[in-house]
């Protein structure tokens, strides 16, 4: 299987920002952990991170046109605001799993609502980097 690992705004600063929420491990550590899991699962992964909404939409559409099999997506702050990302996910017939490192439901109230989740197959929150591995496994095994 070929899976897009798509990360939105500020995920590239993981390890630098809000360590009490996101931990001290870096974005590069995240990529390495996912790659290791993908290798063990005999899956191919493609990584895209952008702070720009349009670039994330482009990546979702490109995943479809490139024949990928699914998407693991952390929309970051766009989770709570982006109808355009919701529509992009809904527009392509690729199973998408929304992932958040923190438990967004235990944080500020504005984080409790995901605009994008209803277009996704499922949502995994609160397990740190392991949430990505859970989502990868779900796409491959479910």
Taking the mean position of all CA atoms in its chain, how far away is CA 32? 15
Please tell me the predicted confidence (pLDDT) of residue 105. Answer: 81
Please tell me the predicted confidence (pLDDT) of residue 24. Answer: 76
Please tell me the predicted confidence (pLDDT) of residue 142. Answer: 82
Contact 56, 8 (CB under 8 A): yes
Please tell me the predicted confidence (pLDDT) of residue 106. Answer: 75
pLDDT means per 10 residues in the chain (142 residues)? 97 82 84 98 98 98 98 96 98 98 83 92 96 97 88
Q: pTM of the full predicted structure?
A: 0.93
Distance between terminal CA atoms of the chain?
12
Please tell me the predicted confidence (pLDDT) of residue 134. Answer: 98
Running DSSP on this structure, what letter comes out for residue 50? -
What domains can be seen in the chain, in order of their start residue?
Answer: 2-141 (3.40.50.9100)
Nearest CA among 38, 58, 39, 40 for reference residue 48? 58
Please tell me the predicted confidence (pLDDT) of residue 21. Answer: 65
2: helix, strand or coil: strand
Please tell me the predicted confidence (pLDDT) of residue 55. Answer: 98
Cite the active site residues.
22, 100
For the record, the structure tokens of 113 come out as: 């609502």
Please tell me the predicted confidence (pLDDT) of residue 17. Answer: 74
Please tell me the predicted confidence (pLDDT) of residue 108. Answer: 77
């Amino acid at each position: 299987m070929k899976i897009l690992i798509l990360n939105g705004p500020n995920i590239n600063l993981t390890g630098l920002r809000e360590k009490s929420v996101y931990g001290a491990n870096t974005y590069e550590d995240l990529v390495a952990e996912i790659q290791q899991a993908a290798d063990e699962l005999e899956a191919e992964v493609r990584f895209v991170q952008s702070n720009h909404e349009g670039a994330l939409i482009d990546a979702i559409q490109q995943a479809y046109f490139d024949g990928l099999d699914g998407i693991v997506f952390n929309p970051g702050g766009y989770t709570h605001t982006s109808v355009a990302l919701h529509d992009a996910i809904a527009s392509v017939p690729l199973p998408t799993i929304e992932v958040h490192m923190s438990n967004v439901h235990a944080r500020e109230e504005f984080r409790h609502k995901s605009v994008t989740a209803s277009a996704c197959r499922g949502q995994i929150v609160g397990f740190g980097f392991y949430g990505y591995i859970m989502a990868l496994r779900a796409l491959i095994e479910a």
